[in-house]
């Protein structure tokens, strides 16, 4: 089967899910691409945006606000050990190169520009790289392996997370229909980390300031989210991401208290306090 046929098939599946009743993860053909840094900029006080471009980003697959790519960090004094295409998958070398996962904030098919937003934190491999990297630097990007496709016919949407989830929440709010209703809760240090959001009019945005408390150490997000009231008979879709321990109570609450089925919510630990390169073994 030709690649064109396969491409057509996953795009058809995305359209089917989008027009259906429940969310579903859909896989895309996974590629590894060489890109180059076009520019970097601060987005609020907490995020560094790295814009990638060059011929390698042409035809990039971008379909869902929660999709991720793996950035392969250039190793010192040697050629990067890159994964090799294996059909629609990648075969990774052993030992694997150093990678971290980042949300696709924006892809522009016209310019080929790909934006990745890095949450700044002390000693972070990715955020340290993003702060120092200069235009023209070559970088390899693998993926995305797929994304969560959510129909636009839910009555309400609940989005919640911390600074690491903010790029995905910002994209969610841009891509929801302008008629969508619901809530977004975002925990940040203070007003300096707030950013401009293009939210539909009926989506209430709540910024939660944790002040001097370290990220991942408060129950502020979980408590705020649990104050929402979903009108009887309305269908809710919930998307939550952030520090694994902080969002655990919400996983239980969405399932047990709100009675959301598996296909109507997605809760993902993007990081875990004290653990470098944490992977929540979810299947995004």
pLDDT digits (tens, 9 = 90+) for 216-252: 999 999 999 999 999 999 999 999 999 999 999 999 9
pLDDT digits (tens, 9 = 90+) for 186-200: 999 999 999 999 999
Residue 163: left (phi > 0), alpha (psi -120 to 50), or beta? Answer: alpha
Distance CA(176)–CA(185), nearest Å, equals: 16
The pLDDT of residue 282 is 41
Q: Which of 258, 208, 207, 199 has the alpha carbon at shortest distance from 228?
A: 258
Q: Do 27 and 114 fall into the same domain?
A: yes
Task: Single out the residue in 105, 122, 147 at which a domain terminates.
Answer: 147
pLDDT digits (tens, 9 = 90+) for 9-44: 899 999 999 999 999 999 999 999 999 999 999 999
Count of beta carbons in the 10 Å neighbourhood of residue 129: 18
The pLDDT of residue 124 is 82
Residue 277, in any domain of the structure: no
The pLDDT of residue 283 is 32
Residue 283, in any domain of the structure: no
Q: CA–CA distance from 128 to each of 59, 118, 123, 218 (Å)?
A: 29, 9, 7, 25
Task: Indicate the burial class of 131 (C-beta count within 10 angstroms; 0-12, 13-18, 19 or more).
Answer: middle
The pLDDT of residue 79 is 72
* Full residue range of the structural domain in which residue 104 is found: 7-147
Task: Single out the residue in 147, 174, 194 at which a domain terminates.
Answer: 147
Residue 11, C-beta contacts closer than 8 angstroms, at least 6 positions apart: none
CATH number at residue 78: 2.40.30.10
pLDDT digits (tens, 9 = 90+) for 42-82: 999 999 999 999 999 999 999 999 999 999 987 654 677 89
Distance CA(240)–CA(250), nearest Å, equals: 8
Residues in the chain: 284
The pLDDT of residue 73 is 84
The pLDDT of residue 274 is 78
Specify the number of domains making up the chain: 2
Task: Single out the residue in 147, 175, 193 at which a domain terminates.
Answer: 147
CATH number at residue 213: 3.40.50.80
pLDDT digits (tens, 9 = 90+) for 273-283: 877 666 654 43
pLDDT digits (tens, 9 = 90+) for 71-86: 998 765 467 789 999 9
Q: Do 98 and 203 fall into the same domain?
A: no
DSSP-derived 3-state class of residue 94: coil
pLDDT digits (tens, 9 = 90+) for 161-179: 999 999 999 999 999 999 9
Mean pLDDT of the chain: 91
The pLDDT of residue 281 is 46
Distance CA(188)–CA(158), nearest Å, equals: 17
User: Do residues 27 and 149 touch, judged by C-beta distance below 8 A?
Assistant: no
Residues of the chain above pLDDT 70, percent: 93
Q: Do 256 and 186 fall into the same domain?
A: yes
Local confidence band at 142 (pLDDT 50, 70, 90 cut-offs):
very high
Residue 2, in any domain of the structure: no
């Amino acid at each position: 089967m030709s690649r064109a046929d396969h491409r057509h098939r996953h795009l058809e599946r995305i359209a089917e899910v989008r027009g259906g009743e429940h969310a579903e993860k859909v896989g895309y053909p996974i590629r590894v691409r060489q890109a180059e840094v076009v520019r970097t900029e601060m987005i609020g006080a907490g995020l560094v945006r790295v814009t990638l471009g060059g011929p390698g980003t042409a035809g990039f697959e971008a379909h869902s606000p929660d999709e991720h790519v793996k950035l392969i960090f250039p190793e010192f004094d040697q050629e990067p050990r890159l994964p090799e295409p294996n059909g629609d998958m990648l075969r990774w070398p052993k030992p694997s190169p150093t990678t971290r996962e980042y949300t696709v904030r924006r892809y522009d098919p016209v310019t080929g520009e790909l934006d990745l937003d890095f949450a700044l934190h002390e000693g972070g491999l990715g955020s340290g790289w993003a702060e120092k990297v200069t235009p023209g630097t070559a970088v390899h990007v693998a993926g995305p392996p797929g994304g969560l496709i959510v129909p636009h016919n839910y009555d309400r949407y609940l989005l919640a997370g911390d600074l690491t989830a903010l790029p995905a929440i910002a994209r969610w709010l841009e891509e929801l229909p302008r008629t969508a209703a619901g809530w977004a809760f975002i925990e940040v240090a203070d007003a300096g980390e707030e950013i401009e959001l293009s939210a539909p009019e009926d989506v209430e945005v709540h910024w939660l300031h944790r002040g001097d408390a370290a990220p991942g150490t408060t129950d502020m997000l979980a408590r705020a989210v649990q104050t929402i009231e979903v009108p009887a008979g309305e269908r809710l879709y919930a998307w939550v991401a952030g520090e694994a321990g902080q969002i655990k109570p919400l996983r239980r609450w969405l399932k047990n208290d709100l009675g959301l089925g598996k296909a109507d919510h997605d809760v993902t630990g993007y990081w875990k306090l004290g653990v470098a390169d944490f992977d929540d073994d979810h299947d995004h």
